[in-house]
Structure 1
């Protein structure tokens, strides 16, 4: 599905709450922890594409929620960014026993990937009567991970939180930002993880 994702950066919920009121947002799903392991080439090709703002570009990640075992159950996602919209392809998987990184990577047609960073955060979900959805991500943590999918001692805490509006791709971005009353920003958790952990 094509959609726009408009991000706003805040340092506290006190600043997010007025935005929810202006957009008439209500809770849509119980808050939960989101965990993602990102994959890239050993040269960081996808990271550099994102940093340079090249379109189209993509991110590749293994995602799971709360305390599920990511080697047994999760979602493999490939997320594409185009000039005016985003698209995401997801593939759920379930194994009876933990598998190796090689088994995980068979979910992707690109076999030249390595795990580069893990990102975790607490996500709260909202929607309004117009069908517009939004999320608020807080307590963001970046962690190092090795090629065997083992989390290492590297860890960095993000001091900012991200409020994101997800709208149909044909909706005016200016309309959404004017209602929020706060400037939108680029914010890539993957890029910030790579920089905080000094992966490349």
Structure 2
């Protein structure tokens, strides 16, 4: 029996569980992401070395952490794949929601939540830098989405809520270049791979569908600088071609009918 004078231990205070994500930085102030033209050129059997040499000769190479980055993004949509179908149908105002990371097969500590938007020919991107507080691969997708909804600004929440189903992980190598006047940028994307996430409980990088020979050159520039891009690509005069990595991933993984 405990005497009245005996000191009892204080009850244990349980700390609330730590959030999975912490907001680090909002890139919405970056003018190169806010509003721009974006065009794509697709080379089904492209020679990366030749294209790299061309862009190096006409412009200059940009290095972000590594000369060649590996980009991976989880694309979110609804069960009807509405964002995917809006792209196929050529809807003039549309958006895509994704969670992106770099240079590791599984998400590490640094991630970016992005909303890519298009309004006719003008594109832009709202990007929020996040820091993972725990291994994201240990979390089920439902918890990942709930944790994102808990830290994102209201405008981002409004985009994720109706598009909260993980559909595809898109992966590729990327090299960055810019014109000598620094008014436009170009990227070379190659070694594309796609991972089906539909029906998956956790992030899955098993059984990729690979497109090893396709090279995508993207030009990104302010409105009115179309001629500068042509100068950067000279003497090549490739034809602009629509190419959504997300849409191609959905198609190649059998998530869309063959006649898309």
TM-score (norm 1): 0.88
Instruction: State the Cα distance separating 1:181 from its structure 2 match.
Output: 1.2
Q: Are the structure 2 counterparts of residues 75 and 152 from structure 1 closer, same or farther at C-alpha, using a change threshold of 3 Å?
A: closer
Q: Counterpart in 2 of 1:176? A: 229
Count of equivalent residues: 198
SS of corresponding position for 1:39: strand
Instruction: Name the stretch that deviates more: 28-37 or 147-156.
Output: 147-156
- Does residue 2 (structure 1) correspond to residue 56 (structure 2)? The answer is no
Instruction: Name the stretch that deviates more: 40-49 or 149-158.
Output: 149-158
Q: Are the structure 2 counterparts of residues 104 and 121 from structure 1 closer, same or farther at C-alpha, using a change threshold of 3 Å?
A: farther
Instruction: Write the distance in 1 (CA, Å) between the matches of 2:209 and 2:106.
Output: 22
Q: Counterpart in 1 of 2:173? A: 122
8 Å CA contact 1:84–1:169 kept in 2: the answer is no
Q: Counterpart in 2 of 1:25? A: 59
- Does residue 111 (structure 1) correspond to residue 161 (structure 2)? The answer is yes
SS of corresponding position for 1:102: helix
SS of corresponding position for 1:26: strand
Gaps of 5+ in 2: 1-33
Instruction: Write the distance in 1 (CA, Å) between the matches of 2:168 and 2:109.
Output: 19
Q: Are the structure 2 counterparts of residues 92 and 155 from structure 1 closer, same or farther at C-alpha, using a change threshold of 3 Å?
A: same
Instruction: State the Cα distance separating 1:171 from its structure 2 match.
Output: 2.4
Instruction: Name the stretch that deviates more: 89-98 or 75-84.
Output: 89-98
* C-alpha RMSD over aligned residues: 2.2
Instruction: Write the distance in 2 (CA, Å) between the matches of 1:104 and 1:88.
Output: 22
SS of corresponding position for 2:208: strand
Instruction: State the Cα distance separating 1:31 from its structure 2 match.
Output: 1.4
Instruction: Write the distance in 2 (CA, Å) between the matches of 1:164 and 1:7.
Output: 4
8 Å CA contact 1:123–1:136 kept in 2: the answer is yes
Q: Are the structure 2 counterparts of residues 6 and 26 from structure 1 closer, same or farther at C-alpha, using a change threshold of 3 Å?
A: same
Q: Counterpart in 2 of 1:151? A: 204
Instruction: Write the distance in 1 (CA, Å) between the matches of 2:241 and 2:165.
Output: 28
- Does residue 136 (structure 1) correspond to residue 188 (structure 2)? The answer is yes
Instruction: State the Cα distance separating 1:149 from its structure 2 match.
Output: 3.6
Deviations 1:24-76 (A, max 9, x none): 12111121100001000001100000011111111111000001752743100
Instruction: State the Cα distance separating 1:143 from its structure 2 match.
Output: 0.9
Instruction: Write the distance in 1 (CA, Å) between the matches of 2:52 and 2:112.
Output: 30
